[in-house]
A = this chain, B = another copy of it.
Amino acid sequence: MLSRTSNLPIGVFDSGVGGLTVLRALRELLPDENFLYLGDTARVPYGAKSPESVIKYALQAGGALVQEGIKMLVVACNTASAVSLDALASEYSPLPVVGVVKPGAEAACATTINGKIAVIATEGTVKGGVYQRTICSMHPDAEIIAHPCPLFVGLAEEGWVDGELVEAIVARYLKPLFAAFGDVKPDTLVLGCTHFPVLREAIANVAGSSIKLVDSAETTAKTVKNILNEAQICNVGDVKGKISFLATDSAQRFAAVGGPFLGEKIDTSDVRVIDL
């Protein structure tokens, strides 16, 4: 069989820097691939905005990445995945478009034993009910309760990620959520926003050892790898893949705030500012 390859980058889109946690997992699993990451930092956050606005922004971002030349689009933002995936797939067909919600839901279903799954996300993601519907379609007996934690985004961007005060804020959101399950507590907690893995330790401390935390970064990376293999569009270059960054606001701030999310230093000179 003749194998096709492509050294075009994989486009990764997020409302800001949160999606860099997904890019980090993609890099680990797919070190040979090139990536073009777009953070819509001029309009971040999407979490409390209406589906109409988020769809409009996602289509503009997708269009910019397609114009740059990409072989696949990863929507590394839960809010945008929740509402704009169909619009993106239809607009840029036949480009493969992958979101983070389905992989996150798969991870939750693979993790839970008692079928009780708690989901924390932004207001937009929770209200849209996409995690509830997606998990339910895979695991019809699951009991799923979702709760918005909008302040976690601010905490993550402020770099307040551990300590007593952060755990107190986390507890204020999680205690009522866990209590809503009644006598049998959930055994799985989905981090349904790409900002939240930065707070993983504080969330784990509050949730306790009986609750497993899952996020969509790793399962999304596996999904992307499968699609690359099936479509035979892997990059088989013998050098390590490169990342380029696009942002809609200050390159300097993107590099400074983004580093901890990506887990490696970002040079301001690697960030190009574009207008959407």
Contacts and interface: CB of A to CB of B under 8 A. Distances in A.
A250 B50 contact: yes
A248 B153 CA distance: 22
A63 to B, nearest CB: 17
Interface in A246-264: 248-250, 253
Nearest to A48: B253
A241 interface: no
A231 interface: no
Contacts of A158: 150-151
A154 interface: yes
Interface stretch (A80-88, A131-139, A164-172, A208-216): A164-172
A49 interface: yes
Oligomer copy total: 2
Interface string A233-252: 00000000000000011100
A90 B169 CA distance: 45
A114 interface: no
A229 interface: no
Interface residues of A, number: 23
A265 interface: no
A179 interface: no
Contact of A151 (B151, B248, B250): B151
A58 B216 CA distance: 37
Contact of A165 (B154, B160, B172, B253): B172
Nearest to A164: B168
Contacts of A154: 150-151, 153-154
Contact of A168 (B42, B165, B249): B165
A236 to B, nearest CB: 39
A155 interface: yes
